[in-house]
């Protein structure tokens, strides 16, 4: 169910864009308010930074796999 009338579905959404959107939502909704309230220690912030970079790396690898799959759909036989 879509409650936003201005929402436009993007069937071409890639892994990096999707991950960035999710990470932005988490940052705005959870992390920034917690940091403003002083609820995250320096260690917590460091750990969250490492987790964020790890998620970014996973998304980059997923996007590379998507590109590889897209190439194989177009008759490229470079993997043979």
Q: What pTM value is reported for the model?
A: 0.70
pLDDT in the model for residue 45: 95
Q: What is the pLDDT of residues 16-73, one digit of tens each?
A: 999 999 999 999 999 999 999 999 999 999 999 999 999 999 999 999 999 998 876 5
Q: With bands split at pLDDT 50, 70 and 90, how would you rate the model's confidence at 1?
A: very low
The model's confidence at residue 12, banded by pLDDT at 50, 70 and 90, is: confident
Give the pLDDT score at 76: 55
User: Is 52 strand, coil or helix?
Assistant: helix
What 3-state DSSP class applies to 78?
coil
Element (H, E) at 32: helix 32-36
pLDDT number for residue 30: 95
35 and 45 Cβ atoms separated by less than 8 Å: yes
């Amino acid at each position: 169910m879509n409650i936003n009338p201005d929402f436009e579905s993007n069937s071409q959404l890639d892994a990096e864009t999707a991950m960035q959107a999710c990470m932005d939502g988490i940052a705005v909704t959870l992390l920034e308010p917690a940091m403003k309230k002083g609820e995250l220690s320096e260690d917590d912030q460091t750990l969250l930074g490492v987790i964020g970079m790890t998620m970014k790396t996973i998304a980059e690898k997923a996007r590379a796999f998507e590109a590889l799959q897209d190439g194989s759909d177009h008759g490229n036989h470079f993997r043979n």
